Amino acid sequence: SGGLLAYADSHSDDNKSIIEQSPKEPQKKKVVVLGTGWAGTSFLKDLDLKSYDVQVVSPRNYFAFTPLLPSVTCGRVEARSIVEPVRNIIKKRSGEIQFWEAECLKIDPANKKVICCSNVEENAARNDKFSLEYDYLVIAVGAQVNTFNTPGVFEHCHFLKEIEDAQRIRRTVIDCFEKAVLPGMTEEERKTNLHFVIVGGGPTGVEFAADLHDFVHEDLVKIYPLVKDLVKITVIQSGDHILNMFDKRISSFAEQKFQRDGIEVLTGCRVIRVSDKLINVKMKSTGEDISIPHGIVVWSTGLGTRPLLRDFMQQIGQGNRRILATDEWLRVEGCEDVYALGDCATIDQRKIMEDISSIFKAADKDDSGFLTIEEFQDVVEDIIIRYPQVELYLKSKHFSEVTDLLKDSEGNDRDAVTIEGFELALSHVDSKMKSLPATAQVAAQQGAYLSRCFNIKEKGKHDPEGPLRFRGPGRHEFRPFRYKHFVQFVALGGEQVAAELPGDRVSMGRSTQWLWYSVYARTAFHTKMD
């Protein structure tokens, strides 16, 4: 299948970094990694330190195991048990990685350097800035919360992104109880203090609500028995269902569990303002505005792009995008030698229809203007590697349904495929494209993938044929990144867990936290790609 993969790159010429290799480069290439979250640490885990000089920049000198962060809010899990110091991670590697506890303030792709600052918050006037040069830059800075410019959210809501957030939420929840039992409070005032509102019915919001419910009903009611009947937990969701990114069975399982637990779920409802004591929402169906008294609001919806990347996107011509785009090799579009992975970026998946005529030309080896059925089948096998949507499409269809499209108007089998037939056969494939979720699993797999590409790259062409290598002599050395979905859990409280498994399977029911934890840790770090 020679040369088939070359067509896809006719649109871009920025592949040189991967293609051109200097065989006897005496100096190690300088790699700068921004961020020590799921993506960054997973990239560092297996990177070949004999080939690279690595510097890591992050304002936090630890990695946080975010799936258990909601459980920290309720003291079920200790904060220190879900963090791992970066220096420990680095120590485990033989070879040197330098770590700088600092925030990257600016990326300067024209001069291939980044500008960092070690005390952004403490004293901006002091000169603690330094710059680092790179040959390759790996951006893994994650996302920040998105308030959608809703007034009052920054001032009056809690977020749940960092360890400190979880600890602050825990203190505030207990404070709410302390306030509610003070003498001289009216019953209304006590109820207001004990109304816990969560905005966002995604996995994080749902898990927090479930943990909070358990915390309140297992622990706090014993300490504050006077007010135990005044507690209320409400989840506000703009869509029609909570957990609507999961299988319907999971979302209704969760809704039923919440109903039994007395957790109120307000769906079809948009937050328009938050103040010290009130949260105002608009019901989408009726247009009605309601104002709800609260003790605490936890804002757990929306991902936004960090200012650092906004500025970078302006510089490289991605200024009108919402989120930084890479190609399927995780290379930032429009910027040489810069890679981005995890929550801070999205893969701009190439549409097959944009390349359809060059694909056809490459497959039609004798330039006859037709493909034989065998040539057609060959080319489909090849394009599956380049365009993951083809595989999703074939999974949803039977292969014969695709070849059925190759029948002529009388229903007779064609013995050859014209460009029109080829286009028709593949015309629905692109509708199967979907962007990857912002999860630890995706971030960790992308980190592992990228370090493998980096390791192969510097070893040169004599490297044995690895699974990442292409079969044909295309312009790309590596297969594009491919996400493998193993399992995603949502803990619903009371040891109830819902899991979305590969192949449209779901599993719901009782489990234990430690089992969930151990399975999670194994699957999220799973790096096998073939």
Residue 251 interaction partner, one of Mg ion, ligand FAD, none, beta carbon < 5-8 Å per kind: none
347-353-359-363 Cα dihedral, nearest 10 degrees: 130
Q: For residue 382, give Cα distances in angstroms to 5, 193, 483.
A: 8, 61, 18
Paired tokens of 266: 């307000």
d(CA 227, CA 40): 45
Q: Which of 4, 7, 36, 199 binds ligand FAD (CB under 6 A)?
A: 36
Q: How far is the CB of 291 from Mg ion (least distance, A)?
A: 36
Scanning 12-20, 24-32, 403-411, 439-447 for contacts with ligand FAD by CB under 6 A, the matching segment is: 439-447
Residue 67 interaction partner, one of ligand FAD, Mg ion, none, beta carbon < 5-8 Å per kind: ligand FAD
Whole-number CA gyration radius for the chain:
26
Which H or E run includes 166? helix 163-180
Q: How far is the CB of 331 from Mg ion (least distance, A)?
A: 14
d(CA 246, CA 490): 10
Q: How far is the CB of 450 from ligand FAD (least distance, A)?
A: 12
What track of x and - describes contact with ligand FAD for positions 100 through 119 (by CB under 6 A)? Answer: ---xx---------------
d(CA 272, CA 290): 10
Residue among 306 and 331 whose Cβ is closer to ligand FAD? 306
Q: Which of 301, 305, 439, 445 binds ligand FAD (CB under 6 A)?
A: 439
Residue among 328 and 364 whose Cβ is closer to Mg ion? 364
Site membership for ligand FAD, residue 227 (CB under 6 A): no
Site membership for ligand FAD, residue 141 (CB under 6 A): yes
Tell which residue, 76, 410, 454, 149, has the closest CA to residue 302: 149
Position 372, amino acid: T
Site membership for Mg ion, residue 35 (CB under 5 A): yes
Q: How far is residue 83 CA from its own chain's centroid?
A: 19
Site membership for ligand FAD, residue 209 (CB under 6 A): no
Burial class of residue 496 (count of CB atoms within 10 Å of its CB; 0-12, 13-18, 19+): middle
Q: Which of 29, 31, 32, 37 binds Mg ion (CB under 5 A)?
A: 37
Site membership for ligand FAD, residue 308 (CB under 6 A): yes
Position 431, amino acid: S
| DSSP bridge pairs for 145 | 303
Site membership for Mg ion, residue 38 (CB under 5 A): yes
Interface residues toward ligand FAD, by CB under 6 A: 34-40, 57-60, 66-67, 69-70, 103-104, 140-142, 160-161, 204, 306, 308, 342-344, 438-441, 443
